[in-house]
Amino acid sequence: MFTRLFRAVTLALCLASAQVAAAAAAAAPPPQQLTAEQWREDLAFMVADMKRRHANLYHTVDRQTFDAAVADLHARIPTLERDEIIVGMMRIAALVGDGHTRVDPRKDAKFQFPSLPIKLYAFDDGLFIRAAKPAQASLIGARVVAIGGVPIDEAIKRVAAIISRDNPMADLVLAPLYLSMPDILHALRMSGRRDRATLTLEQGGRRRTVQLQAGEVDPLWPPDTDISLITPEGWVDATNGPTPVWLQAPLDYHRLIELPKQRAIYAQLNMVANIDGQSIGDFATKIRERAEAIKARAIILDLRLNFGGNGNLRTKLVRQLIKAEDDDTRLFVLTARGTFSASQFILDDLDRLTDAIFIGEPASSSPTSYGDAYRSIMPNSGIAIRTSIVYWQEGQNFDPWTWVDVHTPLQFADYAAGRDPALEAALTYADGRPLEDRLQQAAREGGLAGARAFVQSYITVPANRYANRKLALPRAAEMVFHKGHRDEAVPAAQAVAEAVPDSVDAWLVLAYVALETGRKDIAKSAAERAIKLDPNQRMARTLLEQATK
Q: Provide the residue-wise pLDDT of the chain in tens; the chain has 549 residues.
A: 333 333 333 344 344 444 444 444 444 567 889 999 999 999 999 999 999 999 999 999 999 999 999 999 999 999 999 999 999 999 999 999 999 999 999 989 999 999 999 999 999 999 999 999 999 999 999 999 999 999 999 999 999 999 999 999 999 999 999 999 999 999 999 999 999 999 999 999 999 999 999 999 999 999 999 999 999 999 999 998 899 999 999 999 999 999 999 999 999 999 999 999 999 999 999 999 999 999 999 999 999 999 999 999 999 999 999 999 999 999 999 999 999 999 999 999 999 999 999 999 999 999 999 999 999 999 999 999 999 999 998 666 789 999 999 999 999 999 999 999 999 999 999 988 999 999 999 999 999 999 999 999 999 999 999 999 999 999 999 999 999 999 999 999 999 999 999 999 999 999 999 999 999 999 999 999 999 999 999 999 999 999 998
- Residue 276 to residue 279: CA distance in whole angstroms: 8
- Measured CA to CA, the distance from residue 257 to residue 267 in angstroms comes to 6
Tell me phi and psi for residue 355, to 5 degrees: -100, 30
| pLDDT in the model for residue 395 | 62
DSSP letter for 309, please: B
CA-only gyration radius of the chain, Å: 26
CB contact burial 59-68 (16+ within 10 A = b; e otherwise): eebeeeebee
- The predicted-structure confidence for 257-271, as pLDDT tens digits, reads as follows 999 999 999 999 999
Residue 198, beta-bridge partner list: 211
Residue-wise over 168-184: b if at least 16 C-beta within 10 A, else e?
Answer: ebbbbbbbbbbbbbbbb
How far is the C-alpha of 71 from the C-alpha of 51, rounded, in Å? 15
Structural domains of the chain sorted by starting position, each given as residue range(s) with its CATH number in brackets: 31-221 (2.30.42.10), 245-365+394-399+411-427 (3.90.226.10), 435-547 (1.25.40.10)
- Residue 63 has phi, psi (to 5 degrees) of -60, -40
